[in-house]
Amino acid sequence: MPDIVLATLNARYAHTAFGLRYLMANLGDLRGRAKILEFEIQQRPTDVVERILAEQPRVVGLGVYIWNVDLMTRVVATLKRLRPGITVVLGGPEVGHGPKDRPIVCDADFVIGGEADLAFASLCRKIFEGDAPGSKFIEAGLPGLDTIVLPYALYDEKDVAHRVVYVEASRGCPFRCEFCLSALDVPVRQFPLESFLAAMQVLLDRGVRTFKFVDRTFNLNVGVGLAVLEFFADRYRPGLFLHFEMIPDRLPAALHDVIRRFPHGALQFEIGIQTFDPVVSARISRRQDNERIEHNLRFLRSETGVHIHADLIVGLPGEDLNEFASGFDRLVELAPQEIQVGMLKRLHGAPIARHDRDWGMVYAPHAPYEILQTRSIDFETMQRLRRFSRYWDLVANSGNLVETAPLIWEGRSPFRSFLEFSDWLYERVGRTHAIALRRLFETVREYLITQRSVAGDRVDETMTRDYQRGGRTDLPWFLRAGAGVRKKRDRSSATIPRRQARHRPRTEEEA
């Protein structure tokens, strides 16, 4: 039986606990006495506790995040009630910052703040030696990245075959955007490039084809970014998919040629715009050059096959509906494949809290602490925007209605038009989840014909092309008028993730 159990609740099975693997990799001589257990948030806390206790550990290290804190609070309480002698150690951003009198913190024995890669092993040794610290709270600080053992060998064959493989070439962020905990993570530090790329080669050799980089600012160091992109471009094979989070206004010419080398959909750039309003940007200490952002997005869309996932935030202090609408329309015009409309969250420790009084910021009291209202956007409007966000993801981002979705706002403001559609759809179906794909198609079709007066044959032909993207052949009855545009099953995009594949431009033969 292991003396140490490392555990967390992932948001879904496809995700992997990157942080736990770092802790395991850096346990040194204790590694043989430890075991990783991963669960999902759909599981009952008592079942999680049962599985942990079955290992009879002396120390339980738990990763606590915004998506699992409520359930993890119950896990910790149950663990300590059943086995008060077990030492419970917490880590992760949800407990590393914020109030120290929360139940989950009170029930735990130790809480490690910061990067616990080395600090957790040190704490375990002291516990086993009978020399445990007298303070519950331990600040890990920033370990040198050249002293950390990389965790990639701990991805097992099931991870390689079925789950997301997370990697990182750097840590930290040079910016101080107040809504983000990365504002506290300075300076930016790089892992030694040679050993990092060697680890990537091993993963490639093992069959890994999807790499999600968690670096907050991958393109900050142009030399490192170029080296990593060239490494993967030189080894490209069908099925390779790379996700990077990019600084939107920093895309120097040195990166252009290597980015062009990747085929459509093989690269995904997550680009945080958040707001185009310069006054709001300054208010939250966010520095960005909007003209450079536009230039870079146009380059990526016109000259590369990069799949762009761009972020906007609803509810920033002082940004009203009109200002958000203006920024949204500006971004739609730049044509990223996906626009994530995210609700502002008040993360524990994030500096955004300083605006609460001046801008009437009211947040939900429980995770994920989303904004409920501000002085500029009332609760009712915020609810409409919450539904807007969900429906935009279903209709526009999913790739299921790539050609059809623009008919909703054709010749009009994309934001105003889609908000009208969102209000209509909610009144029609009464929910924002569990909407079957055929039901979604049928309802969008009804809206375009009855509310937007788009010709039925045009809607049917467009929807038929969309429905058949990715190889669907079971054409719904309400689209059979468009059956004349039925095409052969497309297998050319089967090597990239489905969502990205559905956004792939149609070939001349398909058109």
Provide the CA 376 distance to its chain's centre, in angstroms.
27
1 secondary structure, DSSP code: -
Q: Taking 90 as the threshold, does the pLDDT of residue 258 lie above it?
A: yes
Token readout for 115 is 């990067």
C-alpha distances out from residue 316 to 47, 343, 350, 365, Å: 39, 9, 13, 18
- For residue 187, what pLDDT is reported? 80
Q: Taking 80 as the threshold, does the pLDDT of residue 344 lie above it?
A: yes
- For residue 486, what pLDDT is reported? 46
- For residue 183, what pLDDT is reported? 60
Residue 389's closest CA among 410, 346, 418, 424? 418
Sign of CA dihedral 82, 86, 91, 96: positive
Residue 392 lies in a domain: no
Q: What is the pLDDT of residues 61-90, one digit of tens each?
A: 999 999 999 999 999 999 999 999 999 999
110 close to 139: Cβ distance less than 8 angstroms: no
Q: What is the pLDDT of residues 466-508, one digit of tens each?
A: 998 867 888 898 887 655 544 444 555 556 777 777 777 765 5
Q: How many domains does the chain have?
A: 3
Distance CA 68, CA 301 (A): 36
Domain boundary, last residue among 377, 412, 434: 377
Residue 386 lies in a domain: no
Main-chain phi, psi angles of 125, to 5 degrees = -60, -40
| Same domain membership, residue 91 and residue 36 | yes
Q: Taking 70 as the threshold, does the pLDDT of residue 510 lie above it?
A: no
Q: What is the pLDDT of residues 279-297, one digit of tens each?
A: 999 999 999 999 999 999 9
| Same domain membership, residue 192 and residue 331 | yes
- For residue 45, what pLDDT is reported? 97
Residue 133 lies in a domain: yes
We report the CATH number of the domain holding residue 35 as 3.40.50.280
Main-chain phi, psi angles of 8, to 5 degrees = -160, 170
Q: What is the pLDDT of residues 428-461, one digit of tens each?
A: 999 999 999 999 999 999 999 999 999 999 999 9
187 secondary structure, DSSP code: S
Region 309-333 average pLDDT:
98
DSSP 2-65: -SEEEEEEESSTT---HHHHHHHHT-GGGGGGEEEEEEETTS-HHHHHHHHHTT--SEEEEE--
What proportion of the chain, given as a percentage, has pLDDT over 70? 95
What proportion of the chain, given as a percentage, has pLDDT over 90? 83
Distance CA 102, CA 96 (A): 12
Q: Is the preceding omega at residue 368 within 30 degrees of 0, hence cis?
A: yes
| Same domain membership, residue 206 and residue 300 | yes
Token readout for 27 is 């346990």
| Same domain membership, residue 323 and residue 237 | yes
Residue 393 lies in a domain: no
Domain boundary, last residue among 114, 143, 172: 143
Q: What is the pLDDT of residues 194-208, one digit of tens each?
A: 999 999 999 999 999
How wide is the angle at C-alpha 18 spanned by C-alphas 9 and 56, nearest 5°?
Answer: 55
Distance in angstroms between the alpha carbons of the first and the last residue of the chain: 61
Region 357-367 average pLDDT:
96
| Same domain membership, residue 462 and residue 337 | no
- For residue 348, what pLDDT is reported? 87
Single-letter code of the amino acid located at 49:
V
Q: What is the pLDDT of residues 136-175, one digit of tens each?
A: 999 998 899 999 999 999 999 999 999 999 999 999 888 8
Q: Please name the residues in contact with 44: beta carbons below 8 A apart, sequence gap of 6 or more.
A: none
Do β-strands 241-246 and 210-213 pair in parallel, antiparallel, or remain unpaired? parallel
Region 261-265 average pLDDT:
95
| Same domain membership, residue 439 and residue 366 | no
Distance CA 317, CA 311 (A): 17
| Same domain membership, residue 312 and residue 258 | yes
Query: Containing domain of residue 38, as a range?
Result: 4-143
Mean pLDDT of the chain: 93
| Same domain membership, residue 302 and residue 235 | yes
Token readout for 349 is 């420790």
- For residue 106, what pLDDT is reported? 96
Residue 157 lies in a domain: no
Q: Taking 70 as the threshold, does the pLDDT of residue 250 lie above it?
A: yes
- For residue 317, what pLDDT is reported? 97
30 close to 121: Cβ distance less than 8 angstroms: yes
| Same domain membership, residue 226 and residue 83 | no
Domain boundary, last residue among 316, 343, 377: 377
Q: What is the pLDDT of residues 27-60, one digit of tens each?
A: 999 999 999 999 999 999 999 999 999 999 999 9
We report the CATH number of the domain holding residue 176 as 3.80.30.20
Region 221-226 average pLDDT:
93
> Which residue do the tokens 């007066």 mark?
453
| Same domain membership, residue 135 and residue 180 | no
Q: Residue 189: helix, strand or coil by DSSP?
A: strand
Residue 156 lies in a domain: no
* Residue 409 confidence class, pLDDT cut points 50, 70, 90: very high
Give burial (CB, 10 Å; 0-12/13-18/19+) of 71: buried
| Same domain membership, residue 179 and residue 225 | yes
Residue 418's closest CA among 309, 305, 339? 339
Distance CA 125, CA 44 (A): 31
Distance CA 8, CA 68 (A): 8
- For residue 98, what pLDDT is reported? 78
| Same domain membership, residue 333 and residue 420 | no
Region 10-26 average pLDDT:
96
Residue 95 lies in a domain: yes
Residue 152 lies in a domain: no
DSSP 299-357: HHHHH--PEEEEEEEE--TT--HHHHHHHHHHHHHH--SEEEEEEPB--TT-GGGGGTT
Distance CA 9, CA 66 (A): 11
C-alpha distances out from residue 17 to 11, 36, 124, 159, Å: 10, 9, 20, 11
Sign of CA dihedral 136, 142, 146, 151: positive
Radius of gyration of the chain (CA): 24
Distance CA 384, CA 23 (A): 42
